Chain A
Amino acid sequence: MTARPSPDDGLSPADLAAKYGLTVSGARPGLSEYVRQLWGRRHFILAFSQAKLTAQYSQAKLGQLWQVATPLLNALVYYLIFGLILGADRGMGKEVYIPFLVTGVFVFTFTQSSVMAGVRAISGNLGLVRALHFPRASLPVSFALQQLQQLLFSMIVLLLVAVAFGSYPSLAWLLVIPALALQFLFNVGLALIMARAGSKTPDLAQLMPFVMRTWMYASGVMFSIPIMLKGKPGWIADALQWNPAAIYMDLMRYALIDGYPRENLPPHVWAVALGWAVLVAVGGFVYFWKAEERYGRG
């Protein structure tokens, strides 16, 4: 470097940067700009989720068949334990209880695995975060999307089970679509919240399975909340029924199972489902965005 005299010589680095319009590297963009950037990465988000999904079973001999076989085996195990051994089907006939149980397991697993994937979305992909630029929210969103695709495979099993136990396709089945859309939105929000928390405290990955299992047993996956809690104070059943996991499960059961009438659902159930989805998705997104520039730090 020859020390050529320059009009910039006396300037401090910050002034020099301002003069030539340089910006701080890695600064957090505004919220609307962030949404725009994220939308610009939609192809990456989709491709990444599909890649993860495919990579999961690529070494197995049966390959992608496991996408359907895994949920089917899951349903069988739960039926064996709760249907045959424990007899949790109080107040319901077999033809209602089995689709009831399978729906519950699948719908809850959707939320559960989104949370677990969310915890590791940043902390488990630090290499990626430290190597490339993209809105970090792409990762948790992508993981939630992977779980949605996984659930769509499970839905095949679920529809077969419903038909096998005497609930035939009807217009009500279309309600599955808005119910899933709302739950997906809710899961994305949850994954975003967990991703930020997990990037600061990776220990959450050890803790969350216990939290999730507690949540599962409290949400009436294997039993009907109103019947199980008959005689207990009403607010306990109310609190359990209004929790988002129970709401989304009930909506799906109502849509699919003939013998699961409207009376089993709490009042204003769609409004509550929408409320949870919007609240958690928007809240989670803003919460995640607030720490955007700090995710690379180990």
Chain B
Amino acid sequence: MADDMNNASEAHIPTVIADGLHIVYRVNGAKTGKGSATSALSRIVRRGDERGVRKVHAVKGVTFTAYRGEAIGLIGSNGSGKSTLLRAIAGLLPAERGKVYTDGQPSLLGVNAALMNDLTGERNVILGGLAMGMSREQIRERYQEIVDFSGINEKGDFITLPMRTYSSGMAARLRFSIAAAKDHDVLMIDEALATGDRKFQKRSEARIRELRKEAGTVFLVSHNNKSIRDTCDRVLWLERGELRMDGPTAEVLKEYEKFTGK
């Protein structure tokens, strides 16, 4: 009873607010088709507003409010700005205009960039954990759990070999296991469900559900409408950086499937 009361009052506590958010990437050396030295030189001489820099307007004025306990799916065709939006919510990409307000520190599920192929799996577990902000003690506690979950050692002692010797599936599994070892307030998952073999996918789906329970709000980017339908109760549909639709999963997916011609 008391729990129900809590849920009812918590239902409308916002955790993430995006207010007219614009994200612009700047790409060096892509202004003209020709990348020759002379054209670079003439650009310097001519002095445009920003020489040799091409702007990519990836997210255009997105506004929404996410509440505690929601699982929100992000859909849209390739290059529609989904991953960029997630990074902006996490505070990893600075906004050009507009603001993102968050409760606590949202985190992106993924440590790929911190891991090094030349190191052993063992050292990568520690390095990845530290990079995500875990303490040495927390990593020691969870170490065995991470290794067991990844299933790396099922076919022999692979964890003490450098990661470059892993098959791509094994490496992906280890990366997911490290990333999923930490608890998050606001959790963002970028197509993480599609890694590994069938058995591992099952296991990671279960782990994501667990993380969802612990986290306040979950964002999921995926091209798999089924996994969106299974995990999310609200969907944001992005197209060309604009928020095209925002509503309950079934409604938005119906429109989206009509749009993509499925």
Contact = CB atoms under 8 A, between A and B. Distances in A.
A13 B17 contact: yes
Contacts of A25: 88-91, 100-102, 106
B101 A26 contact: no
A133 B94 contact: no
B92 A24 contact: no
A96 B151 CA distance: 59
A23 B101 CA distance: 5
Contacts of B15: 22
B87 A130 contact: yes
A22 B93 CA distance: 18
A44 B101 contact: no
B65 A296 contact: no
22 contacts: A4-B12, A13-B20, A13-B101, A17-B19, A24-B102, A25-B102, A26-B92, A26-B95, A41-B130, A44-B130, A47-B127, A51-B127, A54-B119, A59-B118, A130-B87, A130-B92, A130-B93, A133-B91, A133-B105, A293-B91, A296-B94, A298-B25
Query: Most chain-B Cβ atoms within 10 A of its Cβ — which of A4, A17, A41, A52?
Result: A17
B116 interface: yes
Nearest to A56: B118
Q: Is the interface of B mostly helix, strand, loop or mixed?
A: mixed
Interface in A49-80: 51-52, 54-55, 58-59
A17 B101 contact: yes
Contact of A202 (B28, B63, B119, B135): B28
Interface of B: 12-20, 25-28, 63, 65, 87-95, 99-103, 105-108, 110-114, 116, 118-119, 123, 126-127, 130-133, 135-136, 162, 234, 247-248
Interface of A: 1, 4, 6, 8, 12-14, 16-17, 20-27, 40-41, 43-44, 47-48, 51-52, 54-55, 58-59, 125, 127-134, 202, 293-294, 296-298
Contacts of A128: 113-114, 131
Given A14-B99, A23-B101, A134 B133 contact: yes
B112 A131 contact: yes
Contact of A131 (B19, B99, B100, B113): B113
Given A22-B102, A54-B118, A54-B119, A134 B93 contact: no
Contacts of A296: 87, 92-94
A125 B113 contact: yes
Nearest to B102: A25
Contacts, number: 144
B94 A55 contact: no
B101 A48 contact: no
A58 B12 contact: no
A290 to B, nearest CB: 14
A1 B27 CA distance: 39
A290 B68 CA distance: 33
A16 B126 CA distance: 39
Contact of A55 (B17, B65, B119): B119
B126 A47 contact: yes
B118 A55 contact: yes
B182 to A, nearest CB: 11
A23 B102 CA distance: 5
A84 to B, nearest CB: 37
A55 B116 contact: yes
Contacts of B106: 25
Given A13-B101, A54-B118, A131-B110, A20 B91 contact: no
A58 B163 CA distance: 12
B241 to A, nearest CB: 16
B113 A43 contact: no
A246 B18 CA distance: 53
Nearest to B23: A297
Nearest to B96: A297
Most A Cβ at <10 Å: residue of B26, B91, B105, B248: B91
A58 B113 contact: no
Contacts of A6: 12
Given A130-B92, A132-B107, 12 more contacts: A13-B19, A20-B103, A26-B92, A41-B133, A43-B135, A51-B127, A52-B116, A54-B123, A132-B108, A297-B25, A297-B93, A298-B25
Nearest to A293: B94
Most buried by B among A1, A14, A22: A22
B114 A132 contact: yes
Contacts of A1: 234, 247-248
Contacts of A294: 94
Contacts of A12: 19
Nearest to A17: B101
Given A26-B91, A51-B127, A54-B118, A131 B17 contact: no
A12 to B, nearest CB: 8
A133 B133 contact: yes
Nearest to A291: B94
B131 A44 contact: yes
A219 B19 CA distance: 54
B131 A132 contact: yes
B87 A22 contact: no
